[in-house]
Each structure stands twice: as structure tokens, then as C-alpha cells.
């Protein structure tokens, strides 16, 4: 059972985010038509595991929905606040109704609850958390300290996560795929994007620790400008992205002045290399 910290939500709301329902929560729940529920516009999570959803769908077919979802009134229906996986899996299982508790909460509370539900289950990537924290600041005027108090983390944690948003799209994608952790990616903030991306690919290929990444980033930051490899032009970057998508592994295209070059494919385990070879042979 997940332990829900009291983050100023009050015992009632905290109980609605637990894994196991209390008798009080079950008394508040009622059956709501799934067709009248719309997704949470403040949902910070953008990636849902198909495997996890399939497993939950089978569980719901067998035992039903054990923990009510949390909704708020919206127009002539409801908006989801917490429990999107249960809602999605219930639809996949063919249910017409789902047990739910309805609470009249404002937009700020809806975003807070969505963040807390996901973070207590370790569902959010570092980038998803960072974007959610930034939204609390930009849309609701919260300070970093207020975000920390609302979510139940340290102010330093909030600051470090938000700084990750300065990274290039390629590095942020690696974080969202959980190829890089926050600790591994944090030293890359402030480096030129092509240098950061090179180190990120090195980290994945060699399974470097956060401490090792700090050392690599410090060395890269001290390199004279004349020794720093020029950033590839837009066509080369587009080619790298295309090859990376098609092969499923980080690809680097190195172009030399004499027209020659190198193609580097980074992999972390033999199975990944086998997968690339299989795609090339087909």
C-alpha cells in the first residue's frame, strides 16, 4: 500500500490517493457512467505503459475496480482528477460505469492532486515533474518554495528539476524514456546542446553514474572553444534524428572537412545490437 504523505491536503483528500480504499472512501463512492468522464487537462503524465494498462485491464475484468477514482464536476459531466490508469483500463475492459468520488476542487488543487498521485507511485519522469512544477509557477503564481510545500519535496529538488527544462529536446527525450536519470542529466545543464547530447549518449552507452557524469561535464566545460566540436548543421541533425528513430538507438553522424565521416551507433547491451542488426538485415 502506498504511504501518502500529508501535504496539506487534509485527511479526506489524502485517503483518496491511497492504493487501498478506506471504509469512509467507499461510503462516498458512487457508480458514474464512464461516457460522462473527460480526462484531466492538468494530467502531468504523458506516457502510459501499454503493458501496465493491459495488466490492470485484466485485473479489472477479474475483480472490478477496487479503488474509486477521483472526479470533479465539469459542465454536464465530470473531469478526472486522479485515477486515469483505472479509467483507461476500465474502458478497455468494457465497463460502462466506474466507482468514483466527486469533489468540488479548483484548478490549483486539481493539478496538485494529479502531481501527488503520480509522484507517490513513481509514475512521472523527471521532465514530466519539471513541467508540472513549472505550470504551478507560471499559471498559478506559486514560488518554488510553495511548490515544494504543496508537493512534499525540498525546494532544492524543485529547483533542480525545473533546470532540466533548459536541456535540448534530444536530452529531454532521453530523460522521458528513462534512459537518463535526473542525477545523470543535471550536470549537462548549461553545456552547449551538442556537447550535452554527446555526453548523454556516452552516459547511456557506458552506463555512467551521476558522479561520473559530473566529472565528464566538468572536463567538457573546461575544453577550449577551439577543441569543442562544432555543432552539426540542420541537415545532419535531421539525419541523426531519423536514424535514431529508425534504429531505436542513439546515432551520431560525424562529418569531416574532407567529405569523409563516421556513423556511430551507441548501444548498452548485446540485445540492442542484435535488434539493430535484425532491422538492417530486413
pLDDT, tens only, 13-40: 667 777 677 888 888 899 999 999 999 8
Grid cell in block for residue 249: 538507438
Q: Tell me whether residue 58 is one of the annotated catalytic residues.
A: no
pTM, to two decimals? 0.66
pLDDT, tens only, 206-215: 999 999 999 9
Q: Who's near 219: CB < 8 A, 6+ residues apart?
A: none
Task: Taking each helix axis as running N to C, give the angle between helix 193-206 and helix 169-176, from 0 to 180 degrees, rounded to the nearest 10.
Answer: 30
Strands 97-102 and 77-82: unpaired
Catalytic residue among 52, 54, 84, 272: 84
pLDDT of residue 6: 43
**Distance (Å, whole) CA 238 – CA 252:** 11
pLDDT of residue 2: 42
pLDDT, tens only, 237-268: 778 777 877 777 778 888 777 778 888 887 77
Amino acid at each position: 500500500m502506498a504511504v501518502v504523505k500529508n501535504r496539506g491536503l487534509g485527511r479526506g483528500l489524502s485517503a483518496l490517493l491511497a492504493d487501498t480504499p478506506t471504509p469512509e472512501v467507499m461510503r462516498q463512492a458512487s457508480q458514474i457512467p464512464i461516457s460522462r468522464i473527460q480526462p484531466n487537462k492538468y494530467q502531468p503524465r504523458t506516457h502510459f505503459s501499454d503493458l501496465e494498462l493491459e495488466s490492470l485491464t485484466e485485473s479489472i475484468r477479474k475483480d472490478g475496480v477496487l479503488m474509486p477514482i477521483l472526479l470533479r464536476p465539469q459542465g454536464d459531466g465530470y473531469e478526472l482528477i486522479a485515477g486515469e490508469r483505472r479509467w483507461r483500463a476500465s474502458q478497455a475492459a468494457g465497463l460502462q460505469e466506474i466507482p468514483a468520488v466527486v469533489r468540488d476542487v479548483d484548478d490549483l488543487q486539481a493539478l496538485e492532486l494529479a502531481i501527488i498521485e503520480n509522484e507517490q507511485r513513481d509514475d512521472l519522469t523527471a521532465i514530466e515533474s519539471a513541467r508540472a512544477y513549472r505550470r504551478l509557477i507560471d499559471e498559478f503564481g506559486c514560488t518554488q518554495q510553495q511548490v515544494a510545500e504543496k508537493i512534499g519535496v525540498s525546494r532544492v529538488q524543485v529547483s533542480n528539476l525545473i533546470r532540466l527544462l533548459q536541456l535540448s529536446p534530444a536530452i529531454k527525450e532521453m530523460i522521458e524514456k528513462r534512459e537518463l536519470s535526473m542525477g545523470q542529466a543535471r550536470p549537462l545543464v548549461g553545456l552547449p546542446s551538442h556537447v550535452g547530447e554527446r555526453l548523454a549518449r556516452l552516459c547511456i552507452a557506458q552506463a555512467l553514474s551521476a558522479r561520473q557524469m559530473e566529472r565528464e561535464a566538468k572536463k567538457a566545460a573546461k575544453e577550449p572553444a577551439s577543441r569543442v566540436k562544432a555543432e552539426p548543421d540542420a541537415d545532419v541533425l535531421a539525419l541523426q534524428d531519423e536514424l535514431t528513430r529508425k534504429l531505436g538507438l542513439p546515432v551520431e553522424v560525424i562529418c569531416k572537412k574532407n567529405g569523409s565521416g563516421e556513423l556511430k551507433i551507441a548501444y548498452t547491451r548485446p540485445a540492442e545490437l542484435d535488434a539493430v542488426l535484425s532491422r538492417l538485415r530486413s
